[in-house]
């Protein structure tokens, strides 16, 4: 067994939850595949976040995880956690999806560059370890992907 076998397995779980071949059903990007800017900005459920807000939220937390792996102790303000959408154009939506994908690719590159030895390290500023945080990244994508499916159904798509 490779000394980085566990990291490779975790990276594959993060990747599949985000971008295909997920055991549970459609991956996050598969769920977002047919969403346009109008759908993304709509609020079909009062009090719920929009698809767009959830997309920005996922992107923000993937960046937090990447930066924590780099040694930074950080969290997000309320405004950073679920950013407001000021430009509802199709171009802005496509840019948001591209930023999500770019952030995810950077996180995966960081994870794949790690050794299994790092998994037991405590996350800077937290009480849990890197192993738990990385599995949380997978769970986070699946959780919000499910919410987005519900929002799409509420929109009638």
Task: Flag whether the pTM goes above 0.85.
Answer: yes
The model's pLDDT over 14-66, given as tens digits with 9 standing for 90+, comes to 999 999 888 888 999 999 999 999 999 999 999 999 999 999 999 999 999 99
- CATH code for the domain of 135: 1.20.120.450
CA distances from residue 108 to 7, 48, 74, 87 in whole angstroms, order as listed: 10, 29, 19, 28
What is the distance between the alpha carbons of residues 88 and 37, in angstroms, rounded to a whole number?
6
Within 1-129, residue ranges assigned H as helices are 5-19, 28-32, 37-41, 51-69, 78-81, 90-112
Domain count, the chain: 1
Residue 91's domain comprises: 5-154
Q: pLDDT of 65-100, one tens digit each?
A: 999 999 999 999 999 999 999 999 999 999 999 999
**The two structure tokens encoding residue 148:** 């987005």
């Amino acid at each position: 067994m490779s000394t980085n076998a566990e990291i490779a397995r975790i990276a594959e779980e993060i990747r599949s939850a985000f971008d295909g071949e997920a055991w549970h059903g459609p991956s996050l990007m598969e769920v977002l595949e047919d969403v346009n800017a109008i759908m993304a900005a709509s609020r079909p459920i009062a009090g719920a976040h929009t698809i767009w807000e959830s997309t920005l939220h996922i992107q923000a937390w993937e960046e937090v995880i990447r930066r924590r792996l780099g040694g930074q102790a950080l969290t997000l303000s309320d405004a950073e956690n679920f950013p407001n959408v000021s430009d509802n154009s199709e171009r802005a939506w496509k840019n948001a999806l591209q930023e999500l994908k770019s952030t995810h690719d950077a996180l995966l590159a960081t994870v794949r560059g790690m050794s299994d030895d790092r998994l037991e390290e405590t996350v800077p500023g937290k009480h849990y370890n890197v192993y738990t945080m990385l599995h949380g990244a997978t769970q986070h994508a699946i959780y919000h992907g499910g919410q987005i499916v519900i929002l799409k159904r509420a929109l009638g798509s």
